[in-house]
Structure 1
């Protein structure tokens, strides 16, 4: 072959390879993205003539092959025939003992053959899930007749970055059916999670049959409506997904009761379903706190002989009576026998220890056994329970509060309190393994907003500065869905998806890029729809909740997905699929309220956005003669449910801050801060401000309310507009923190620019 011809051929092959690689996120819309993916040209067609082969030692993977068969049968209308060995037009399962990494696999797809290679069934199952994602979404449901299926050519070598890739579900606050647990587990499997942390007991309900103590479910699994139920019922008037699920209600003695529980046989069925998907279910029986449901059934378990609320949390088990340990051991014996997991989670968080300090039995025990305070008394309880679990061949997990009174190195610590940043390092130094479940951003009961997925995607399971040796203590991460305000399966879907997909990528791979992930995510929504997942529709953009105009403006909405249909109203009612369609833009020339909602082709409705349009003149600047840099931040200690309540308190102190941030001097767990001064606005115009608060805050500029993000809630961004003339404009920002970690961020934009922090040069006082 002439040199010039060879050069041109090589150049053409290189160009083809580069072109394929450039479209990899679209062509290979995999989440999590593999550790290594080499694109290739062509595809493998799957027809009724295609065969499935498990030669030799690959018979180890019969169950995984059947799982792939089930998916292909949905698409083809019949299963593939079996072949004795690899051949053309064959999907081949291969055993390879040289693969050493847990859950690792290889996948090679050519136009002639598909080869799935693994050493462990878990690795082969992950390979099947990759193939599942490469197949069209329609294979998730059985269909009549045949369909054309194909797989894009590629080479994958894959393995997880972390051994603990978990999701959590709280079934104690609100209960979920066995069918929903299976649906949840199937989602975990699709995105290569391998742990389900099941929170089975709490103050509000006991959800697992314990044969030794039948009243735990006869009494503890049912309740008349509590304040969480009432809150959900009230909110359900605007959102039906917040209504209590009727199948968990019963009439008894003239009262409506809410509840339910899993029999041990039902739980065995769920465990088997999870095991088939190589997911380990970790049970949590929370103790010594969060035990009101148990104490209501068996009052002798508390130091007071009754169940009640303390200053912040419920009265706990009494660690000073041997009857408590007998109860705990009997319960945990049944749990240990039921769950094959090597872990049992005992919680040990948020314990109200006041009754311990007042109990004579505890004073005697502390004098006898050596604990010097109630924190060490909790440690005494935790260590006794851990030794018992070890006798059953189990490892104990506890929330990071177990570090406070001391814990043995053999325990595994689940870190959740972001406001205790040194806890992972302390646990690592103590020899404990650590699972990262940081409340922000991994508490999925926190209301999602447009920034939620970004926050999860950029979460780092191994904290910076931990060091390589201490970093080995980090097993991985999980996200938690607490269900005080999640009363239905639809609401659970909404809170979890698609945030779960971002975490899947964080704990599996090195994350190619956030932009790549967002592109791939778009192709997952049709699959979620096929799986009947009522996911949160991506956020609409291009407007502010509180919008202003000088003479007139146009409402133009940016759609995150091209197939969304936007319906709107101007009469105050919530939009439905029958409301007018916002095709392009909507002229606004007078004050009005517009409500928007996006609908998917399958009929799923997104969030409703209320845009309040106000006509404003440009606020005249203040006539301040001399100013200095920074804002004055006055801080107050105390518990404030709203920013307005700060006015009733006495200031603790003040400081000048060069950014909108809580001053270091405000060190109380619960506090409020008032920021006062001016913004040096560089040019006349309409400005949009974005205020993110955990808990709450309000922003006034030029004595106009711009953003109302008040109340006690998780980190949520709200925005608003204001018309400002060039010059010094008075600013009043009030912020409250109700306990735990806080978040405060103020950004701005103008003329459609991307939000950015308010510059320090703008801040004056």
Structure 2
């Protein structure tokens, strides 16, 4: 189903992407020539592809005289985005790049009314400066990520580089196709620290991903402190796959992840998986088990053997407490209740459980997300079902999901044989699993979310998400290797208009990301399907 892997590459700043020459034909099969340093990257070589590009005019050059400007009435959020941009540019350029409300030219961030939507922006580059305009700070932030890609990859380095720092002339008008553009990190199979999660958040933000789904509980570990049930974290979180020390987030840790994600315009989506995938909870409290006996902690990788006791009143006291405390920590809209691989729960019990638990999510002000097995019960009004089936999943299962979509349930698409980042690229990939198949870069990109699920209206699709399960992942470099280069392609499927999608052009733009990842110290898989630059 949807288990295995996790990814945490460190990319505190990347969305910049050397935009190479002009078309797929400009590259030879094995490698692509890097553009001369003096040539600015073309405006249309961004990942994700912008909605509209109009190149033209002379470029803008960042110099020692450049200022980062905001309007006098700019609020804290705009100033924070401006400071973030200056913080990226200063180490590599060696310039002061002071923030100012005075003067003309330079790099200007401004809010204005327009048809940008909550995340769209316009970037205009001319000899006298670069202006990013949006109707909300999130749009300015996404525009900054595009600006990074229009600068040489060396802008991402932490030491002074020679430059020059030029931005091609013209205008980009951009906005997302889908409001939900997610990535999931499994911190239950193997635990990842606050610092490692932040590192992944930075990498996600580079590609305009705006949802981080944290898989906080499973058979192998419970990763969030719950005051009313303290043994969940202290005991249930004390191990991981293979028998390591595990770990958990204190409430302060979790708040820090939420805070940091918000500065990158990423919403946190916490998941407590139930009624299956609950061995860590069952091991922590005997009374949650139907027979009153706690099982031992589990450090293997099998699935489907655990279940909360659906007929015990204490089960719903437990679920209410966990949801209440987690909702209070989470300012975002969603709370994910899992619901997959509940093989040890009868269908009748599963329906009973979901009928009782979904209202608890609403009680605490959150919207339900569940894995697509939720559609086997009755999804709550406004709920999202996350589809993780395969191209070859049976017609009956697909129709069950499509029928729910036709009835108003929103869909987040995560087909496992397309966008599960823990799937091996090839049989020789040292990390990952292959139960859903081998997933090379082209396969992960070459599909359309709007038409993927037969019978589901395109209007039901809320977006896409790339899960990363961590059965075989223990380090940030492991996360990076499995996420890159596939993650940017999923981000493009979520952000860019369908008309811009096409493997031949995309692989050229993707190849230009390689030098940027090198500059950022990101470990990535050098797929032979991509014409990486040499030299």
- Fold similarity call, TM over 0.5: yes
Shift of 1:82: 3.9
Match runs of 1:490-509 below 5 Å? 490-509=477-496
Does structure 1 retain, via aligned residues, the 8 Å contact 2:225–2:232? yes
- Map 1:87-236; keep pairs closer than 5 Å: 87=104, 89-144=105-160, 147-223=163-239, 229=242
Residue deviations 1:666-719 (CA, integer Å, cap 9, x gap): xxxxxxxxxxxxxxxxxxxxxxxxxxxxxxxxxxxxxxxxxxxxxxxxxxxxxx
Q: How does 1:231-270 map to 2 (within 5 A)?
A: 257-270=244-257
Q: Describe how 1:703-714 pairs up with structure 2 within 5 A.
A: none
Indicate yes or no: 2:507 matched with 1:536: no
- 8 Å Cα contact 1:290/1:316 also seen in 2: yes
Q: Are 1:429 and 2:406 an aligned pair? A: yes
| Structure 1 stretches of 4+ moved >4 Å | 20-26, 144-147, 464-467
Change (3 A) 1:337 1:464: closer
Contiguous gaps of at least 5 residues in structure 2: 1-20, 27-40, 427-437
| 1:440-489 deviations in Å (ceiling 9; x for gaps) | 1111111113962111211211235757x932111011111111122332
Larger radius of gyration between Structure 1 and Structure 2: 1
Q: 1:257 to 1:107 in 2, by over 3 A?
A: closer
**SS at 1:480's partner residue?**
strand
Measured after TM superposition, the shift of residue 408 of structure 1 is 2.9
How many Å apart are 1:300 and its aligned residue?
1.1
Partner of 2:378: 406
Quick check: 1:50 aligned with 2:66?
yes
Q: Aligned partners of 1:522, 1:264: CA distance in 2, in Å?
A: 40
Task: Flag the 1:23–1:217 CA change in 2: closer, same or farther, 3 A.
Answer: closer
Shift of 1:421: 2.4
Label 1:506 to 1:86 Cα distance change in 2 as closer, same or farther (>3 A): farther
The question of whether the paired residues in 2 share the 8 Å contact of 1:47 and 1:149 is answered with yes
| Residue of structure 1 aligned with 2:353, choices 381, 405, 408 | 381
Preserved contact between residue 89 and residue 155 of structure 2 (Cα < 8 Å):
yes
Relative contact order (C-alpha < 8 Å, sep 6+): which is higher?
Answer: 2
* Aligned pairs, number: 476
Which one has a larger percent strand, Structure 1 or Structure 2? 1
Displacement of 1:387 in angstroms is: 1.0
Aligned-residue Cα RMSD (Å) equals 2.5
Whether the 8 Å CA contact 2:493–2:501 is kept in 1: the answer is: no
Could you tell me how far apart the structure 1 residues matched to 2:385 and 2:366 are? 14
Local SS of the residue matching 1:27: coil
Secondary structure of the residue that 2:292 maps to in structure 1? coil
Compute the TM-score of the two structures, normalised by the length of structure 1. Answer: 0.59
Residue aligning to 1:343: 334
* Structure 1 position 513, deviation (Å): 2.7
**What secondary structure is seen at the aligned counterpart in 1 of 2:450?**
coil
2:448 matched to which residue of 1?
460
Displacement, 1:319?
1.4
SS of match in other structure, 1:377: helix
Given the superposition, is the C-alpha separation of residues 56 and 125 from structure 1 closer, same or farther in structure 2, using an over 3 Å criterion?
same
468, 473, 480: which one aligns with 2:460: 473
1:86, distance to aligned residue in structure 2 (A): 5.6
SS in 1 for 2:468: coil
1:316 aligns with 2:307: yes
Could you tell me how far apart the structure 1 residues matched to 2:353 and 2:92 are?
55
Deviations 1:411-431 (A, max 9, x none): 211111231322431121231
Query: Against the structure 1 CA distance between its residues 110 and 562, is the aligned structure 2 distance closer, same or farther, given a 3 Å change threshold?
Result: closer
Q: CA deviation at 1:98?
A: 2.1
Identify unmatched segments of 5+ residues in structure 1.
1-19, 230-255, 355-373, 541-558, 564-600, 602-765
Q: Tell me, in whole angstroms, the C-alpha distance in 2 between the residues paired with 1:350 and 1:177.
A: 27
Counterpart position of 2:13: none
Which of residues 381, 385, 388 is equivalent to 1:416? 388
